[in-house]
A and B are shown apart, each in its own frame.
Chain A
């Protein structure tokens, strides 16, 4: 066997082992999530009755638990994918929808819409919330990219620009909340990230957006792999790197905004999942990193939501609090590592 064949086989085996193990961890977390809550229940019974309830439309406690656990899985996958696409299109391992201000931009836009309309959880508002969240997220992302490009576009300048934009929009999003009288506590809980009110409609829409984005990423896997190296290589594959960045950015902002519109801001999953994946896989190949990131993102957020409901009995801690406590140290680690490589 040639050294190339040995390498290819080694890389594939490492991927399959990692994927199997992370899927196993996700399954364990998922069933634990179904089982624990105000009362401990048999997870298999919860799953079976829950699915029946979801199909028939008469939601009981089991249906609620299944919906909430699935939501955590899908949002985790979405944020991981969004972070990964942002990392590829900015060629920056520190990129993440929260760090780059996208989530806060979406949060502000939704906050503003809700304060103008006066309604918080009206079903008709779902579509409006999604669209405004997308526009807000996109504007914030473009603002971050603009500021970072003026500062040389280094990994750290991008993060600092994101902090500036994110802080602005996060603070701005607090203002409209003071003008809403109805459902104020729900609004505040939402803005801090929460899966307390999962919705089947939201889940279906998010799964569709996720599948669309995954298909897109696999379709452009060769140019995206080369975007990590050099724009010249992307051009030599017959792709326009600027257009590739634009599409990736749009999709990443779109899927992030969906999660923000319904479940608020959840940070660092998009940074941590791809980072940990690349580190374990010892590879940057999209075909391996993308599936691993998605599963690890799901596992991270399922674990966070599990902790948020069981850590303090009778109290729901905002899921962003837990997710950030897990994810922020990964950012710290990534910054130290980047420094070592002379960035």
Chain B
């Protein structure tokens, strides 16, 4: 198993945000879904070693706490949705600021996310979608075994959503575990292998996409009735009315 969590808890200021959750995850693309405030970002940050936690978290059968900072940095990458930056930083400055990135991969991602003409541009002058693409290029160029993408679909347009999701499938075939926290079930769930659903800090479902959509979990966690259409290996999730 790539990730094995046992009774994992995370608290901020005495409030438990993740409550004794246990799950295992293998290679593949995993959707982390759940309503606002369910703990998606916190779970991703705990796995990435960015917040302190209670319980046990094993990465590649080794306790996350015993990794050195450098080992952990190479093994796991967390990509935030957006960032506030100092006004004079350029897109090029941002994507080159991590000493662990591979230059060859960075060039590939500049192509993939169409950043060539934006490299000199100041971050204060790019759109949120362009900033989001730059953050993805920076994060993915580290070539980590585990990649945690926090709301990567929220700012980029449909075309880049498709480019990203198709690329994540290719990466997962190469043996990576990619976690994607998002509320955009469309188009996300057509491109993932598994779903981890959270509600109020608890993991209420882990399993494949079809069983997730056929269960009562989506309606329960979002409070919305969905119509689900399976077609040619894709799924279409249409929110119909409030439950």
Contacts and interface: CB of A to CB of B under 8 A. Distances in A.
Q: Do A and B bind each other?
A: yes
Interface of A: 2-4, 7-8, 10-11, 87, 91, 93, 222, 225-226, 228-230, 232-233, 235-239, 278-279, 282-285, 337-338, 341
A115 B99 CA distance: 51
B107 A4 contact: yes
Interface string B45-66: 1001110000000000000000
Given A230-B83, A235-B50, A237-B73, A282 B98 contact: no
B50 A10 contact: no
23 contacts: A3-B116, A3-B119, A4-B107, A4-B110, A7-B120, A10-B120, A91-B84, A93-B87, A222-B98, A229-B85, A230-B84, A232-B45, A232-B50, A232-B78, A238-B68, A278-B86, A279-B88, A282-B90, A283-B90, A283-B92, A284-B86, A285-B97, A337-B87
Given A232-B80, A238-B72, A282 B116 contact: no
B89 A229 contact: yes
B174 to A, nearest CB: 21
B122 interface: yes
A87 B89 CA distance: 13
Given A4-B107, A7-B92, A229-B83, A236 B50 contact: yes
B210 interface: no
B94 A229 contact: yes
Interface residues of B, number: 38
A4 B119 CA distance: 8
Contacts of B90: 282-284
Contacts of B92: 4, 7-8, 11, 283
Contacts of A225: 93, 97
Given A93-B86, A228-B85, A282-B88, A2 B80 contact: no
Given A3-B116, A236-B48, A238-B70, A285 B87 contact: no
A282 B120 contact: yes
Nearest to A284: B89
A4 B106 contact: yes
B166 interface: no
B77 interface: yes
A14 to B, nearest CB: 10
A330 B48 CA distance: 41
B96 interface: yes
A226 B45 CA distance: 17
A239 B99 CA distance: 13
